Chain A
Amino acid sequence: MPYSHKLHAGNLGIDCRYCHTGVEQSAQAGVPAAEICMNCHARVRSQSPLLAKVRESYQSGRPVPWVRIHRLPDYVHFNHQAHVLAGVSCAACHGRVDQMAEVRQVAPLSMAWCLDCHRDPAPYLRPPELVTRLDWQPERDPREIGSELMAARGIRPPLQCSGCHR
């Protein structure tokens, strides 16, 4: 499926959460059901051959097999909900997806990389309502913003093993 985040999230400005509906409620952000695509594509480019698989999936209920790009080992239990509600932007891990025609992994997603932020989250936090604004630029020192958020919301990322490994 030639799906472009650049087109949908970038040019059209669709919010991440329109499709990744679980991101605020669940460990998994979720990949949208074909039904969500069809909310628009029932009318927009409704006959495009590029969308045949989506239409077929919507009709039959059989899933479109998307390729997973961001993978963590089975022994790591990452939770989207916890991060998004704490004010970690999608872009912090996934990069500027709104500029990618085809999604690629930009961050190493290694334990050391996770711990950089868990040990010192202040520079990476923003008000939670802005997490999906991938082009957001802080107007002042991001560490200052983050420190205020941490104090106000009691954000203390776990450093113990069982925070992620269980």
Chain B
Amino acid sequence: MNAGESILAAGIDVGSSAVKFALAQAAADGTENVLALHNERIRRRDLRKVIREGYEVSLEAAGVRQNDIAYTASTGEGELVDFRRGHFYGMTTHARGAVFLLPGTGAVIDIGALHARAMRVDERSRVMSYRMTSQCASGSGQFLENVARYLGIMLEDVGPLSCEAKNPESVSSICAVLAETDVINMVSRGISRSDILKGIHLSMAGRYTKLLRAIDACGDVAITGGLAADIGLFRALEEKIAEEKLAMRVRTHPDSIYAGAIGAALWGAYRHRILARRTEVVA
């Protein structure tokens, strides 16, 4: 192939509760486009099957065939993507995806089901420094999901409900699994679901601002990862940042949850172009 052609690449971001897919096109002049995005929740199904099927759905959505894809890259827990050509570390893909979606981003906070990672990035989306949550899932996305299930709330409703809160109930940062019991008690004390969710969002936001402070983040902070679409968490972060008077502005994008997959696809296209150039030189 010619290194000057436009390249189609796929990115597959395997998380612990969902797999995200992105198909991207990188033209020779440097313009980049996302052709298709797809999110498939795992729900305890066979992961290999979920990956395979989700990949096919995204190919269909973009109207391309598998043979058209020059490079398929995995990120996250990507060992099971057996048809990939390469793998990128989660931090680099989230940084790349965030800068692509929200140009001008100075820091990224990737909030997933188990971990949260804050990283400071430069304009070329290189990771300059980072900080992660520790080995305990207190206040993680998985915890929020458990609580939502317990309250009988669909995940899409969590954010809007949280925004309706009038007196957020403060939640101590205890064990993610046992906090469920705290929630039971709150329900039986008659606290509204909105106030419970907002309380949890605020406690999570407190953890994330701590991470952001630790890496000296300032300016535009992009939220990525599975919780990027949670408007309740977004508002809570805004409130915490205002309360702590930090020089930051949180931003999100409708496609922020796909940042990892998009980043993987873009880095994949980049790597493919370099490899192709090298082969040409050798030939």
Are both chains from one complex?
no
